[in-house]
A and B are shown apart, each in its own frame.
Chain A
Amino acid sequence: MLIVVCIKQVPDTTQVQIDPVTNTLVREGIPFIANPYDTHALEEALRLKDQFGMRVVAVSMGPPNAEATLRKALAVGADEAILLSDRVFGGADTLATSNVLSAAIKKLNEQEEVGLVLCGKQTIDGDTAQVGPGIATRNGYSQLTLVDRVDQVDLAGKKIRVRRKLEGRHEIVEAPMPAMLTVVRELNRPRYPTVPLRLESEDREVKVWNNEALKLDVNSIGLKGSPTWVSRIFSPEREKGEIVGDGLHDPKGTSRLLIEKLLSKDLLPV
């Protein structure tokens, strides 16, 4: 049985800034990394592999240089890595992306049964959290988002029980497999690759599948298959910090002033 982990290569967003003078994006020398949430998904897959002996396949849709991210997945123990790369995949929004990923998963399923698909809860560049549900819906898998604990995997009965982390509450949910899980950081601590595995992964094959392999309608993928598009980017207005009142001499008044400010922004849970 396969566990498919979807990993996105993202720019290290903490390093993305808008140049205050030219109002353009400063991207020079910004490295690409594996989406941090996805590394937790990979870790969970590897743990399930250790426990049940399933095979872990890492899949990423992206430009050719996303191979580096998949290689890192191999370095921590993924059995196989597949890069979905084709110029017709480019410019995709979440709808078109989930189309490509779900097609690749279906193709994998033809070779070996896919039991689980794991993704991070969202990516740090897009923050949409939509690709996971997109895959689940397209492939008819159980959809379990925001998983912070995997309680039970019943391979014989094809059932999985997880805990989901929601606002102010947790839910224990049981669902049939195959299932698509999106995971939160609290789920686990990703492992650090050993040097021998890293060195070995340098020579391992990262398969590349293009649209000839997936045979998708070009109007349903890439830019053409994307209903949404970015019409404009701009720099966010950064709120400068402010010192509120005179806390030293008027703690009471200052406290009230702060509460008012928070209220005006609807930030207090009252």
Chain B
Amino acid sequence: MTVEKKPVKKPRGKARLIEGRCIACGARCESSCPVNIISMNDAGEPVINAEKCIGCVKCVKVCPAQAIDMFFTPEEQQLLDELMKTADAALEEDDPEAAALASKLAQYRNVWVFIEQTEGEPARVSWELLGKGRELADALGVELIAVVFGEKVENLCHESFAYGADKAYLVDAPVFRFYRTEVYLKALCQLIETHKPEIILMGATGLGRDLAGAVATVVGTGLTADCTGLGIDDKRNLMQTRPAFGGNIMATIMCDKFRPQMATVRPHVMTLPERREGASGEIVPISCPIDEKDILTKVLEVINDKKGKDHVDVAGAEFIVSGGRGMMGPANFALLKELADELGGVVGASRSAVDAGWMPHDRQVGQTGKTVRPKIYIACGISGAIQHLVGMQDSDLIIAINRDKEAPIFEVAHYGIVGDLFQVVPELVLGIRELKQQ
């Protein structure tokens, strides 16, 4: 006697939100649901109508915060466990879509780094990117290619080789002298179309971001800004890690179905590779027929900020050396000026120093002054009253020099020096000068 063996249906479970995990990423789960049973509440969190859930797991996969999981009733769980025991080795599903995608992606090879220059002067971040690009290219087993645009910039190709590039694409014509979005955009898109890179890295500078955003739109691919970490996963995809929510969280971004994978990286994030003098590579000249007559956008003037000393813009400065009441008097601000000059920055002041009349009000940093976000903020003789802190605490790096080790400024400082600023600051100036002479 045989009993007909009824196939047991594998329970699929219901999607469920895990309390406190949702980051309100922007309704990814809602958009991924094929049966439209996820809606968003005012806080941007999903409300899942579990009754109607078909258990497709799409929302679970798409959630960046692993905030959704599948819920099984105890009976279902039991069934699932039994099935697991009896099931054969898990079968990999064959996916024809995946195969098609793989072959599309395979057409794209090599890592490109866009070499940024202004009037022939290269941006240091480009060399930093060559260092990172080298690592990525080695991991992928492909070439690292420098992309150089400009007028009379062939020397930058050689420079690129010194920093690790295997090859350089050179677009050299008068129309490329000044960066203009439409000109550079056209050339780079043409280059991408012909040579199909898998990764393009650019500096997250004003120029780099301007160009990258436009290129990614035309090419129709993903672009990740301000990466702080780049790596390759086991499927040759670029893992792009970047800060989000104002740096309060880090996110790893993937662009695994499109090529090229584009990323920008802020200056000083990647280390500068060692320069190999005399390294050589192949320069591939590219001609890009663009007529100046067709370009209506004109760069009328380039103003070098270092030359225009009359106006000091504390709010936009990259390096700020600020003084507070600890400066003891207006004359001592000359000390800070020296340090600021060495760094190419400006002198700021706390409210007390401004109140005392030592510095003009347009230099004031804080609640009732300017809010600043420089790369380095050096607070000298500033105790760190809350009204000052709110104006500068978002600086990338804060250095505090103060005699009072209890001063609240040390709570926000990355580096603190407890000492006499009148001794420390001149030593810093000397140290940096020596460095420059080397």
Task: Give A residues with C-beta under 8 Å from B.
Answer: 11, 13-14, 16-19, 22, 24-25, 27, 63, 65, 87-88, 90-95, 98, 122, 124-134, 136-138, 142-143, 145-146, 148, 161, 164-176, 184-186, 222-224, 226-236, 239, 241-248, 251-252, 254-256, 258-259, 261-263, 265-270
Docked-complex contact A138 and B23, CB < 8 angstroms = no
Docked-complex contact A164 and B206, CB < 8 angstroms = yes
Docked-complex contact B246 and A241, CB < 8 angstroms = no
Note all chain A residues with C-beta closer than 8 A to B418.
243, 246-248
A227 to chain B, nearest CB (A): 3
8 further contact pairs, Cβ within 8 A, besides A27-B24, A261-B415: A16-B246, A137-B218, A171-B178, A231-B254, A244-B416, A246-B418, A247-B401, A251-B420
Note all chain A residues with C-beta closer than 8 A to B316.
148, 165, 184, 186
Digit string of B419-436 for contact with A (CB within 8 Å is 1, else 0)? 110011001101110011
Counting CB contacts under 8 A, is B315 at the interface? yes
Note all chain A residues with C-beta closer than 8 A to B302.
169-172
Once bound together, how far apart are the Cα atoms of A107 and B368, in whole Å?
A: 43
Docked-complex contact B427 and A18, CB < 8 angstroms = no
Docked-complex contact B412 and A241, CB < 8 angstroms = yes
Once bound together, how far apart are the Cα atoms of A269 and B253, in whole Å?
A: 30
Digit string of B178-219 for contact with A (CB within 8 Å is 1, else 0)? 101110010000000000000000000111011011101110
Docked-complex contact B424 and A268, CB < 8 angstroms = no
What residue in chain B is nearest A22 (Cβ atoms)?
A: B20
A162 to chain B, nearest CB (A): 10
B262 to chain A, nearest CB (A): 9
B115 to chain A, nearest CB (A): 15
Known: A87-B30, A90-B27, A267-B376. A18 touches B248 (CB 8 A): yes
Docked-complex contact A232 and B416, CB < 8 angstroms = no
Note all chain A residues with C-beta closer than 8 A to B64.
229-233
**Which of A95, A137, A245, A247 counts the most B-chain CB atoms under 10 A from its CB?**
A247
Once bound together, how far apart are the Cα atoms of A229 and B246, in whole Å?
A: 18
Docked-complex contact A267 and B268, CB < 8 angstroms = yes
Docked-complex contact B427 and A252, CB < 8 angstroms = yes
What residue in chain A is nearest B398 (Cβ atoms)?
A: A241
Docked-complex contact A166 and B205, CB < 8 angstroms = yes
A218 to chain B, nearest CB (A): 10
